[in-house]
Amino acid sequence: MQEERKIAGIYIRVSTEDQAREGFSLGEQEEKLKQLCDYKGYEVYKVYCDAGISAKDMEHRPKFQEMLKDMQDKKINYIVAYKLDRITRSVRDLEELITQLEKYNTYLVCDRDDVNTSTANGRFFVRMLTVLSQLEIEIVSERTKFGLNGAIKSGHLPGPVALGFKKDGNRKTIIDPATAPIVKRIFDLYLQGKTFLQISNIFNEENILNKKWKDTHIERIINNKLYMGDYEMYKRLKEWKDIEPVIYMNVVEPIIPRYIWEECQAQKIINQRTYTRDRVYTFFQKLKCPKCGKIMKCKGSGGKKRKYVYYNCEDCHENIRESYVEKAFEKIVGQLIRFDNEYNNLFLPLFADKEKVVNKSNIEQEIINLTKQKERIKKAYLREVVELDDFKEDLKVINEKLNLLTKQLEKEKDLKNRNRFTPEKVMANRDTQRIFMQNGKDVSIFLNEWEIMTKEDKQEFISKYIDSLTFEKDEKYPNGIKLVDIKLKSLFTEKYNNLSELGLSQASIEFELNGKPITLDVSYPIKESKVKDYLNEMRHIKGIKLYIHPTFNHSIKDIPQEIEFDLNKDEKILKLIPIIKDIDNPDNLSNKFKLGIITTTIKTSSNRFKKQSK
């Protein structure tokens, strides 16, 4: 009987890591295996070479797949390799390969491992070697993963650096003071109701960083958890490999507070392509139907009545005119604008540390680095190392970063100077401002600010602070509608909580004074010593007095409906201050407190007030 021909396919594979570690090249493998085939009497059909490819799977090795195809076409009946790990390091892949070898009467021979699958003992030995190879892979993988986890947790992040960050000398990811303000602005614009496309258009018009901005760039920034300090691994793999991302929390200093990032995620639904509308709706996606509670849709009339804007519930067929909503909302919006102005102009310096503003020395060092970089590219251009267009583009980016840093440095110096103010001094400044603003009467001056805003500005302001508004039909109220519920966004509540922590928050509450409605400011409960500091800061205001109610001693939960005390004819109530003992906790609602009444010398004869029933 004629002996069967032994036709071999030589398979060689090496990665850069293998070659560096074990020192054998593709050429050396090929030479040794050809000598082996000559010794064993194998006829070499072809050499299959996968260069720089891992052995973790067989699917992504093109030459290996070509060799298997030739085996199936009966062009070869022996596969010859230098070592078994050149073929595979996966037990699963090995089982599949042995099944294929048996099906097509083909044998595997590995020179260094003395492998030959033509016998049962040989196949068993192959399986044992592969188990050990896979164990080695898993151990190395675990070590690599452990090292990577430690690096990420210490701020050494893999991959390119996101806008707003840079690498320091130790390759650690830190805030880049030159570009971090751009990131902050993106989140701020998004919270104002701007879409990804609108923000990218604004940046293109202003030529920010001398680059072409797309809506996808803005979307990636808004979705990136790194800006609140968290690193998300495998995020992109989830889209096509169904791999769950791994979140490492608080690995870098955040550029924006966590609540801002979360607020922006909630804003996505509201911001769905609003730029396609042909008119601006002040309360876009904010009004709830008074019957079913669903968000009402925007509706504009046509023809001669085009100027009228409505909000409509498709289910209940309820309609509310925008001008009526705005009228019913104006008292609230006046207070919101006043709060926004006072927070930004008076209180913000007190929270400079909480906002994690980059310190002055870092900004100054970055200015020095950019200035040196600017000199280097100038020299490179003069030596004709770079072209004029490239020189201009690089210079423009550097100058823009320097401009941003200079503004940031000025802001830091201003905050540092203003941050020397105590909470009591800031509270006194606020109340002084209110006294001289129409004698502290009401918030009408802020309503004037609202009235001169464009519809776009109004929509942005509402979108910034308001989550939802609920009205009901009531003929007793102007235009037949009454505001019954207002839900504020976390951006507002976070700011309000910041003030409460320092004892600076206060609310405007309606009372009845001698049978007439009056609105008084009631402050957060303040300790006795802080009230003295506050009055000391107010001493420059002529006629300021503090009265301690002689009989009032109640907890927050049991304030009486009617309070009576005597005032002089020329005095007017400025605000009410609940005063607690220095040892008590202001947040404890059961604590007893005295009632302080701050007055100014404005002619009035009122001496009794009670809280209005809602």
Looking at every residue in the chain, the average pLDDT score rounds to: 77
Backbone angles phi, psi at 83, to 5 degrees: -140, 160
**Is the predicted pLDDT of residue 183 greater than 90, yes or no?**
yes
Pick one of 3.30.420.40, 3.40.50.300, 3.40.462.40, 3.90.1750.20 as the CATH number of 165-276. Answer: 3.90.1750.20
pLDDT at 329 over 60: yes
pTM, to two decimals: 0.52
48 pLDDT more than 90: yes
8 A C-beta contact, residue 8 and residue 43: yes
Could you tell me where the DSSP H helices lie in 13-83? 16-22, 26-40, 62-72
pLDDT, position 443: 60
pLDDT in the model for residue 115 = 74
Instruction: Name every residue whose Cβ is closer than 8 Å to that of residue 424 and which is 6 or more positions away in sequence.
Output: 530, 533, 534, 536, 537
Long-range contacts of residues 583-586, Cβ cutoff 8 Å, at least 24 apart: 584/527, 586/503, 586/524, 586/525, 586/526, 586/527
Please state the rounded mean pLDDT for residues 426-450. 71
For residue 435, give the DSSP letter.
H
439 pLDDT above the threshold of 90: no
Q: For residue 273, is pLDDT > 50?
A: no
Please say whether the beta carbons of 260 and 281 come within 8 A: no
Q: 124-180, pLDDT tens digit by residue?
A: 766 676 666 556 555 555 555 555 666 777 777 877 888 999 888 788 888 888 888
428, pLDDT greater than 90: no
Residue 589 is predicted with a pLDDT of 65
23: Cβ–Cβ under 8 A, 6 or more apart, which residues? none
Q: What is the largest CA-CA distance in the chain?
A: 131
pLDDT at site 306: 52
Q: Say what the pLDDT of residue 446 is.
A: 74
The predicted pLDDT at position 201 comes to: 92
Q: For residue 245, what are the contacts with CB-CB under 8 A and spacing of at least 6?
A: 232, 233, 234, 235, 237, 238
Is the predicted pLDDT of residue 80 greater than 80, yes or no?
A: yes
Q: Which residues are CB-neighbours of 432 under 8 A, at least 6 positions away?
A: 538, 541
- Between CA 309 and CA 278 the distance in angstroms is 12
Predicted pLDDT of residue 544: 83
| Mean pLDDT, residues 54-61 | 73
Q: How far is CA 210 from CA 160, 283, 318, 400, 401, in A?
A: 19, 35, 49, 8, 11
Torsion, Cα 73 78 79 84, to 10 degrees, reads: 140
Task: Evaluate if residue 36 carries a pLDDT over 80.
Answer: yes
Tell me what the mean pLDDT of segment 301-316 comes to. 72
**Portion of the chain with pLDDT greater than 70, in percent:** 76
Tell the residue number behind the tokens 């396609």, with chain if given: 276
Tokens of 395: 């210079």
Structure confidence at residue 603 as a pLDDT band (50, 70, 90): very low
Helix H or strand E encompassing 165: strand 165-167
Residue 70: band (very low, low, confident or very high) from pLDDT cuts 50, 70, 90: very high
Task: Give the pLDDT confidence score for residue 268 in this predicted structure.
Answer: 74
Residue 244 amino acid letter:
E
Among residues 161, 167, 209, 166, the alpha carbon closest in space to that of 185 is found at: 209
Q: Decide if pLDDT at 492 tops 50.
A: yes
Do the first three CATH levels of 7-148 and 165-276 match, i.e. the same topology? no
Q: Tell me if residue 15 is catalytic.
A: yes
| pLDDT recorded at residue 547 | 84
Cα four-point dihedral sign 187, 191, 196, 201: negative
Measure the CA–CA gap between 125 and 85, rounded to whole angstroms: 13
- What's the Cα-to-Cα distance from 102 to each of 11, 12, 72, 120, 564, rounded to whole Å? 18, 22, 11, 12, 101
Q: In the prediction, which pLDDT does 136 show? A: 57
Does residue 79 surpass a pLDDT of 90?
yes
Burial 403-417 (b: 16+ CB within 10 A, else e): ebbeebbeebeebee
User: What is the domain partition of the chain in residue ranges?
Assistant: 7-148, 165-276, 353-418, 505-614
pLDDT value of position 274:
47
Which of 89-103, 124-138, 196-210, 358-372 is predicted with the least confidence, judged by mean pLDDT? 124-138
| 354: pLDDT strictly greater than 50 | no
Residue type, 358: V
| Residues 408-419 pLDDT 10s | 777 666 555 554
- How many Cα atoms are found within 13 Å in the side-chain-facing hemisphere of 367? 15
Residues 6 or more apart whose CB falls under 8 angstroms from that of 141 comprise: none
pLDDT of residue 419: 47
**CATH superfamily assigned to domain 7-148:** Resolvase, N-terminal catalytic domain (3.40.50.1390)
Pick the catalytic residue from 15, 323, 500, 508.
Answer: 15
Backbone angles phi, psi at 384, to 5 degrees: 65, 30
Residue 139: its pLDDT value, please?
58
> What's the pLDDT score for residue 355?
45
The single residue listed with the structure tokens 């309820």 is 318
Residue 258 predicted with pLDDT over 80: yes
Q: Are 564 and 538 in contact (CB under 8 A)?
A: no
Confidence of residue 227 (pLDDT cuts 50, 70, 90): very high
pLDDT at 338 over 90: no
- Say which residue the tokens 């942005």 belong to: 460
Outline where 278-422 has alpha helix (H). 322-342, 360-382, 388-418
Task: Summarize pLDDT for 187-223 with one digit per residue, the tens.
Answer: 988 887 788 888 999 999 988 888 889 988 999 999 8
Q: Two tokens at 520?
A: 């008084």
User: Worst-scoring range by mean pLDDT, 193-207, 363-377, 578-592, 594-608?
Assistant: 594-608
